[in-house]
Amino acid sequence: MSQRNTGVTSQVVNAQACPVREVLDRVAGKWSVQILVAAAHGPIRFTELERGIEGISRRMLTLTLRNLERDGLVSRTVHPTVPPKVEYELTPVAQELHETLQRLTDWSERHRVHIAESRAAYDAAHDTEATAASGRS
Amino acid sequence: MSQRNTGVTSQVVNAQACPVREVLDRVAGKWSVQILVAAAHGPIRFTELERGIEGISRRMLTLTLRNLERDGLVSRTVHPTVPPKVEYELTPVAQELHETLQRLTDWSERHRVHIAESRAAYDAAHDTEATAASGRS
DNA sequence: CGGAATCCTTGTAGATACTG
DNA sequence: CAGTATCTACAAGGATTCCG
C-alpha cells in the first residue's frame, strides 16, 4: 500500500469523531488502568487498592475511582457497617476492556525492546553535540 | 529536584511496573492516535497531516511527530528538493499498534451508549441535590 | 475506614511569530 | 513547505489535612 495520498487526506476525519479517543480519554489517566487491573481479580476495598497500587495517593485513587464509576466501569458497594467498608468491582463492560487491554500489553511486550532502542538511537543522534558534559542517560 | 523532602518520600516506585502503562503513556497524547490513523493510509506529508487533522497546531503536530519518530513508530523521510518535502510513514511496529487500536475502537463502539447512560445517571444522581446551592447545570 | 478539601508543581497544549 | 521559539493557560497529579 504505497499509495501517495497527495491531497486525498481530507478524509482524516474530525478530532473527536473517532471513538478511539473516547476510550483513551477514559483510560489515559495515570491510574485508571492499574485500578482496573487490580480490581479484575474480584471485589476489592478502597484501602486494599491504595496499598496494592503502591504509589497512588488517596486523592487520585478517589478521583480515578469516581471517574470509572461514573463511566460504569466499576461498581461501588457500601456496606453500612462500622467501620465503613466499601468495595469496588469491575462491571462486565470493564472486564471486556480488561481483555482488550491485555492485547495492548501484548503489543507492548513484543516491541518494548525495539522501542527502547529506537529511543536510545534517536536520543544519541540528537544529543551527541549537545552533551559536552551532561552525560544524559 | 525541588521536592520538599520532609522525610523519605522519594520512593519513586517503579511506576512502569505494568507494560500497559508504557503503551498508554506513549499513545495517551491528545494527537498521537489521530496521527497514527491519518498516516495509516500510507506516506503522508506534514502539511497534509496539519490540514487533515483539523484542530492540531503546528507545534503539537511537530512535537507529537517527534515523539512517535523517537519511539520508532513513524519514519521521517526528507526529500532534498525545493520546496522541501517531508513524508511520514508508519513503521510496521506502529501498524500492529494500529490494529490493536482498532480492537479498542470496537470495544468503544459496543459500549459507548452504555457508558454515556452511566454518566448521565451518575451525574443526575449527584447533581440533583447539589444544584440547590451551587446551581451547576 | 473512606473520603473531601486545599495547596502546589508540572506536563500538555494553544496561539503567535520567526526561520531555513 | 516544514519546521522552531517563546509565552501563556489549564488540567493532571502529588502532598497534606480535616471530616463523617
Over residues A29-87, the pLDDT tens digits come to: 889 999 999 999 999 999 999 999 989 999 999 999 999 999 999 999 999 999 999 99
- pLDDT reported for residue A9: 35
CATH number of domain containing B88: 1.10.10.10
- Structural domain including B52 reads 3-136
* Out of B21, B37, B42, closest to residue A1 by CB: B42
- pLDDT reported for residue B128: 65
- pLDDT reported for residue B3: 35
pLDDT above 60 (res A101): yes
Task: List per-block mean pLDDT (blocks of 10 residues) for chain B, which spans 137 residues.
Answer: 34 51 82 92 96 92 95 95 96 92 88 92 79 44
The number of distinct structural domains making up chain B is 1
- pLDDT reported for residue A129: 58
Sign of CA dihedral B46, B47, B51, B56: positive
- pLDDT reported for residue A23: 80
Nucleotide nearest to B12 (CA to C1'): D14
Cβ contact (<8 Å) for A15 and B38? Answer: no
Instruction: Please tell me which residue, A109 or B43, carries the higher pLDDT value.
Output: B43
Distances (CA, A) of A76 to A26, A65, A69, A85: 18, 9, 7, 10
- pLDDT reported for residue B28: 82
- Give the pLDDT band (50/70/90) at residue A134: very low
Using CB atoms and an 8 Å cut-off, which of residues 93-112 of chain B contact chain A?
93, 96-97, 100-101, 103-105, 107-112
pTM: 0.81
Q: Which of B12, B18, B20, B56 to mutate to test the interface with A (most CBs of A within 10 A)?
A: B20
Instruction: Give the sheet arrangement for strand A85-90, strand by strand.
Output: A44-45, A85-90, A74-79
pLDDT per residue over A113-131, tens digit each? 999 999 999 999 887 655 5
What is d(CA B136, CA A108) in angstroms, rounded to the nearest whole number? Answer: 42
What is d(CA B62, CA B29) in angstroms, rounded to the nearest whole number? Answer: 13
